[in-house]
Structure 1
Amino acid sequence: MPLPRWLARINRRFLNPAEIRRGVRPVLIHVGRSSGTTYRTPLDAHPIAGGYVFIPMYGPRTDWVRNALAAGTARLSVGGAEVALSSPRLVAKKDVWPLLPPGTRTPITVSNDTKLLRMDLDLRP
């Protein structure tokens, strides 16, 4: 079950800017599907072979998920470097969780049928 939308609004306004300034968490850089504005969203990015898996804690209709799906690309700032990502798609947790390192913790709001965002590393020059 996704977290409530009111919490997302608080996070976007107060917590996300603080997390970006701290520079500890990966940050997804994506373009707004209507506005064309570039957004930076701190997330948990789980590396898998050939890409990353992201957990949309507020559900798959969250703006950053919809923006990535609409654009077909995004960038991820992780560990001081940026990587290009492509081919965003929603996948069930049960299909990708086995690809994550053993011991990766499942957030309490995530079930086996929860839709996660999977993106591939874009290796084009």
Structure 2
Amino acid sequence: MRTFMRSVHYAVEGIAYAVRTQRHIRVHLTTTVIVCIAAAWARLSPLEWTALLIMCAVVISLEMLNTAIELTVDRMGLERHPLAKAAKDVAAGAVLLAVVFAIVVGILLLGPPIWQRVFGA
């Protein structure tokens, strides 16, 4: 149990570091709060909530992995290298793809009920 608690402690430290130092993590967290407020207002079903929360978790998790990759590559050396650039670009691309899909899921799930509540149609 002690090893598990130590692992949880390190994970929480990692999350805190990311929130404290990474602007994009804070943007994603703020967006998640806004999406949750919109979902509550739109009265989404539990399954729709699940889809939204999974997408938010995927985006935030990938952003944290992107940060870890960038930190690791930077630790290896600050000189420019094509493989270092590729590693950073691929990680950033993964975040971008997740964000695009999250936006699509958000529009599909939130669009119709919000439209109906605002315009009554």
TM-score category of the 2 structures, normalised to the smaller one? under 0.3
TM-score (norm 2): 0.24
| TM-score scaled by length of structure 1 | 0.23
Comparing both chains, which one has the higher relative contact order based on Cα–Cα distances under 8 Å and sequence gaps of 6 or more? 2
Larger radius of gyration: 2
